[in-house]
């Protein structure tokens, strides 16, 4: 059993629909504890850094689709003033896997109804991008990389 930190973002669709509080509530009603949280204005550079490993992979082999993913994280499709997302770090035993279970599968149509994505995610009719409310790190290695992108070490309590 390892004590892990994992990154969670309430993405622009979640911010637009005022789901940040609900996401925190679900995460706080779990064995994991909040270690950091802040509202961040997402630039093109930050979005590209966050999703760098997906560039050219799978559906994102299509350059237009990849740019749509970047645009989505920047809030271009969700009318969020200031391009705001809520970035958080949760910590606990096997937090990466545990938080992913709370969040649900990537495709909101495949995500279990009891999960955040299953309950509130949708597929954008405009772009086909899964607007799935939250990002949560996929594995321990990604979590380390992503926490370091969004937070300075002194910001983690």
Q: Which residues are catalytic?
A: 135
Nearer to ligand ADP, 36 or 133 (CB): 133
Nearer to ligand ADP, 125 or 157 (CB): 125
By Cβ distance, which residue is nearest to ligand ADP?
106
Write a three-state SS string for 2-48.
CEEEEEEEECHHHHHCCCHHHHHHHHHCCCCEEEEEEEEECCHHHHH
Nearer to ligand ADP, 59 or 112 (CB): 59
Nearest to 135 by CA among 44, 3, 10, 2: 10
Q: Which residue has the tokens 């545990």?
A: 98
Min dist. Cβ of residue 96 to ligand ADP (A): 11
Give the DSSP letter of residue 59: G
Min dist. Cβ of residue 154 to ligand ADP (A): 27
Min dist. Cβ of residue 73 to ligand ADP (A): 8
């Amino acid at each position: 059993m390892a004590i892990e930190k994992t990154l969670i973002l309430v993405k622009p669709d979640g911010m637009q629909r005022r789901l940040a509080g609900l996401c925190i509530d679900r995460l706080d009603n779990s064995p994991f504890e909040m270690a950091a949280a802040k509202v961040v204005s997402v630039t093109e550079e930050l979005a590209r850094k966050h999703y760098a490993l997906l560039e050219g992979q799978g559906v994102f082999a299509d350059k237009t689709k990849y740019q749509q993913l970047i645009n989505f994280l920047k809030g271009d499709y969700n009318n969020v003033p200031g391009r705001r997302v809520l970035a958080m770090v949760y910590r606990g035993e096997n937090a990466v896997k545990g938080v992913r279970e709370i969040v649900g599968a990537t495709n909101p149509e495949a995500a279990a109804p009891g999960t955040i994505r299953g309950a509130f995610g949708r597929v954008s009719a405009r772009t086909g991008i899964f607007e799935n409310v939250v990002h949560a790190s996929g594995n321990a290695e990604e979590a380390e990389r992503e926490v370091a992108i969004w937070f300075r070490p002194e910001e983690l309590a």
